[in-house]
């Protein structure tokens, strides 16, 4: 959760870029962390539930119109994310990776795990993903997402 991540940054005095002491940068991180709950998390999680979990539980295929509706909702918030939060910056809070980037990418991996490659037609988003992966380490990133990336095969 966001609350535990903030607690951990304070308790273990993590490097400043994760949760910046600069008030303007911190405000960008806080703004994203507040926005993402019903937007990226809400719409990305809904796509994952609709495409992977509901058919698994019910044994019924997903109606195409429902999948299209859920995908459109996610696409709308992805556009907002690129325009409002990424803009022309390497990361959400500026030139360094932060908790906001980490939380955003983790949430975006759910739809990817459901078989929806949301980075494919979004070069800005794909470049940002590469920068975040590089910042945390590609091996660690892959290890952390191993389970969710196998979900579509269930």
Range scoring the smallest mean pLDDT among 66-75, 119-128, 143-152? 143-152
Q: Which helix (H) or strand (E) holds 88?
A: none
For the chain, state the CA radius of gyration.
Answer: 16
Cα–Cα distances in Å, from 2 out to 30, 82, 103? 10, 21, 8
pLDDT computed for residue 81 by the predictor: 98
- Residue 56's pLDDT band, with cuts at 50, 70 and 90, is confident
Q: What pLDDT digit, counting tens, does each position of 20-54 carry? A: 999 999 999 999 999 999 999 999 999 999 988 88
Q: Return d(Cα 61, Cα 129) in angstroms, integer.
A: 31
pLDDT computed for residue 135 by the predictor: 97
Task: Sketch out the chain's domains with CATH numbers.
Answer: 1-6+28-153 (1.20.1050.10)
CA contacts within 13 A on the Cβ side of 56: 11
Q: In 3-state terms, what secondary structure has residue 19?
A: coil
SS3 content of the chain, % helix, strand, coil (to 5): 70, 0, 30
By the 10 Å C-beta count (0-12 exposed, 13-18 middle, 19+ buried), 124 is classed as middle
The reported pTM is 0.92
- Mean pLDDT taken over the chain: 94
**Share of residues in the chain with pLDDT > 90 (%):** 83
pLDDT computed for residue 148 by the predictor: 87
The answer to whether 37 touches 102, Cβ cutoff 8 Å, is no
By the 10 Å C-beta count (0-12 exposed, 13-18 middle, 19+ buried), 15 is classed as exposed
């Amino acid at each position: 959760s966001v609350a535990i991540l903030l607690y951990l940054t304070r308790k273990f005095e993590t490097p400043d870029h994760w949760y910046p002491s600069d008030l303007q940068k911190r405000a960008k991180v806080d703004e994203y962390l507040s926005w993402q709950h019903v937007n990226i998390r809400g719409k990305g999680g809904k796509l994952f539930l609709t495409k992977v979990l509901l058919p698994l539980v019910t044994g019924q295929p997903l109606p195409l119109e429902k999948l299209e509706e859920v995908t459109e909702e996610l696409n709308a918030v992805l556009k907002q994310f690129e325009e409002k939060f990424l803009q022309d910056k390497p990361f959400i809070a500026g030139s360094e990776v932060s908790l906001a980037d980490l939380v955003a990418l983790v949430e975006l991996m759910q739809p990817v795990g459901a078989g929806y490659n949301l980075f494919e037609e979004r070069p800005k988003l794909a470049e940002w993903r590469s920068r975040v992966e590089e910042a945390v380490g590609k091996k660690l990133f892959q290890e952390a997402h191993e389970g969710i990336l196998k979900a579509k095969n269930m």
